[in-house]
Structure 1
Amino acid sequence: MDEAVRLALTKWPDVPSCTGWLRLSRRGEWWVPEGPIRHAGLRAFIGRNYLATPDGRWYFQNGPQQVFVSLDYTPSILRLVAPGQLETHTGLPVMSISEAWLDEEGSLVLRSEHGAALLDDRDLPALCELMDGNLEAPDGPITLNWAGQQLPVGRIQRAEVPARFSFNPNPA
């Protein structure tokens, strides 16, 4: 969290929170009602101050105000930034993957040290190249060959993802 944000929290501790204004897209873009946030500095500021409450509600600490984020899918989005190298939408490097899940739409959800994350759909073909098994068979075993390990890929329904990974996609 930025030092200026910490100071604002101390100075104004009782500012009400905001809901329904900020959204995280399936591709890791921040959206407000007017459209996507394009300003690189503002996107970086939001990313540095993006946190979760103990009960799984994600928010951006905007000075003294918590701005709760509506999630189009998961709290984090992963991007393939180089072969064998993933990064979160906020720029954090992913060092390890502990779980992999395919949903009924063919989306890939991964758990890393940063929690549950949807893989950006533009990177899905590259990761599918690292999978063994029949992706179209609902019961067949699938493995993801990542960082020298063979990780089993489970099947999950999209509606089950928030409960499985303990987050609230629509905090109010």
Structure 2
Amino acid sequence: MDDIVKQALAKWPNVPDCYGWLGLDARGHWYLRDDQAQAAGPFPHSKGSLLQHEKLIEFIARNYEADGQGRWFFQNGPQRVYVELEATPWIWRIQSDFSVVSHTGRGAAVQDCLVDAQGYVYLTSALGVGLVHTLDVPLVAEAVEAGRWLPQEVLAEELPDRYGFVMSPQGQWGARETPGSPRMVDTKQS
């Protein structure tokens, strides 16, 4: 976590959490979901605006983690912005040497290779479970042929319970809480 984020957490410890405003799609792209996108339906049916600002994406990646209930979030200063997931909390990219890197740039050692009925491939690691990016499925096939990974069948709908993650933190709370609007933290205020 960035030092500036830790400082903001210490300075403003009681900022309300934010739900529904950030989504992660099955290709590892972040989407900002304003009021209009949220009103149009749940993620990923209504994705919102693709984030393209490189520094913002890097900031999100450095401050992306899960709480004790399996809800993934981006720590934006003192505010947790919970993430709506299309598939899994991690999207893996496979390198030519079969090493694995997450959509946030974190490396991971593969523990298991899973395949669902639709042919989607998931890998598990100490970081958790993630979907293999569709462009990298041929590399998975090479790794399997080389005997590096042994695919096991899995039901995609069982992944959240099996690996302890929440697809929709906003949907989990339903009407009990209203999504808050994300705020950028002014660290110069006293």
For the criterion TM > 0.5, the same-fold answer is: yes
Letter of the structure 2 residue corresponding to residue 15 of structure 1 = V
3-state SS of 2:95 partner:
strand
Give the whole-Å Cα distance in 2 for the aligned partners of 1:9 and 1:102: 40
Give the whole-Å Cα distance in 2 for the aligned partners of 1:101 and 1:25: 19
Letter of the structure 1 residue corresponding to residue 12 of structure 2 = W
Specify which of 105, 112, 127 is matched with residue 140 of structure 2.
Answer: 127
Alignment of 1:77 with 2:75, yes or no, is no
Q: Which deviations, in whole Å up to 9, do the C-alpha atoms of 1:11-70 show, x marking residues without a partner?
A: 111110101110011011111124111011100000000010011000000001000000
The residue number in structure 2 matching 1:21 is 21
Alignment of 1:58 with 2:60, yes or no, is no
Gapped regions of structure 1 (runs ≥ 5): 133-143
How many angstroms does 1:91 deviate by?
Answer: 0.4
3-state SS of 1:97 partner:
coil
Alignment of 1:113 with 2:115, yes or no, is no
Number of aligned residue pairs: give it. 156
The residue number in structure 1 matching 2:168 is 170
Greater than 3 Å deviation, 4+ residue runs: none
The residue number in structure 2 matching 1:136 is none
How many angstroms does 1:83 deviate by?
Answer: 2.7
Gapped regions of structure 2 (runs ≥ 5): 34-47, 171-190
* Structure ranking higher in helix proportion: 2
Greater shift, 96-105 or 42-51, is seen at 96-105
| Correspondence list, 1:30-69, <5 A | 30-33=30-33, 34-69=48-83
Give yes or no for contact 2:100–2:110 (8 Å, CA) kept in 1: no
How many angstroms does 1:128 deviate by?
Answer: 1.4
| Correspondence list, 1:137-156, <5 A | 145-146=147-148, 151-156=149-154
How many angstroms does 1:152 deviate by?
Answer: 2.9
How many angstroms does 1:157 deviate by?
Answer: 1.4
Cα RMSD (Å): 1.3
Give the whole-Å Cα distance in 2 for the aligned partners of 1:7 and 1:130: 43
TM-score normalized with structure 2 length: 0.78
Letter of the structure 2 residue corresponding to residue 124 of structure 1 = V
The residue number in structure 2 matching 1:101 is 114
